[in-house]
Chain A
Amino acid sequence: MNALRRTVYFTGIVALCAWVLVPIYFIALGAFGGRIGVFRWPKSILPTDTSLAAMQLFLQVEGVGQAMVNSIIAACITMALSIALGAPAGYALARFTFPGQNAYRLLILLTRAFPLAILALPLTVAFIRIGLYDTAFGVALIHTALALPFAALVSASLFQAIPRELEEAAWVFGCTRLQAFLKVVLPLALPGIAATAIFAFVISWNEVFAASVLTVRNRTLTAYLLTVLAESPLHFRFAGGFLLIVPSIVFIFAVRKYLFAMWGIANR
């Protein structure tokens, strides 16, 4: 009975891991397996003739470097803006009761309800008018709009988890509201805020639709790859795909503890 349960349990774990890991593994294999490896059939499961040739080639292609820089710029701005706007909103939601609080909560989520496809044309027109079109900053603004609901709601739950009494104790012992926030609340919330920031970064890094619509020359990596991949050789595509996946995986792995805590999954 117990053995059966364990078997089922571990089979489940293996299946779930395989679901995620196998595709990533094959992408990596394609990216580093060299030109021949990609086309060989049947595929070898183990990496045979690994080479960095495809990756090197990919990185040397004109535009890739610039696209990566654009992506990083857009993602960093998104990260900064989401925290700068989202964390105070979250703090307000966590600490104050004000009329329309629940409506506000809902409204935050509703920003995600508008399909970007519908907004794309008016946004493009507006961005051209105010000169934001084809800039990393313009893309970052849209990405901020996408990441902000997440940042606000997650930081609200972060602040909610910090007992109000800690702040009150700080006031009693001579802190202003701001001092209490900086000395007591912020240090306690910082790991979670960092996790939120990284998640905002990942959202921006992975976003492709708005980035494709709103840029022509200054493409972000995702948008750039989308346009060039169709006419590239297969190993080249794998190299691009791998480069896109890696930062997300690394970041999510780095902050997994906080994400689990945020999503209410008990972490041991």
Chain B
Amino acid sequence: MLADRMQQSGLKRPPGRAEAQIFHLSFPADALSVRGALRAALARFLRQMTPDEAGTLELILAEVLNNIVEHSYADSGHGTITLSMVRDRRGLSCSVSDDGVPLPVDCLTRADDDTDRPHPESLPEGGFGWFLIRDLAEDLGYRRENGRNLLAFRLPLQPQA
């Protein structure tokens, strides 16, 4: 549909790339809906990524979305998550928003400090999420605006042949 509209409006596509550019989805904040959203988002961009890049994207998105289900909406099963992704020349630009409780300020800053990283010897069962996001995503940013959480990040992708 996007392709039709682009043709109708006379927009030129970059040569050699007849691929998806945009993904946008709102879905309920529960674990099974997160699965469905991941499947849909991955399917949209799969042909533009290496298997390794696809694995990285799915992991970052899963950690971000699961955090929202479990913490922002406190596993209530209520609430909506909105995921938007845009493909540009350098990779994927992603933004995620929800109406849950504010993200604790130390979630992002603490992940900067390696001393807070869960130690394997202590057999941690959690606390990995933000470190994984931090390790894998670029330009990670957070803003609280009008009662909404807005999280944005980028995933660089190898230039396509």
Answer whether A and B are interacting partners: no
A interface vs B, CB < 8 Å?
A: none
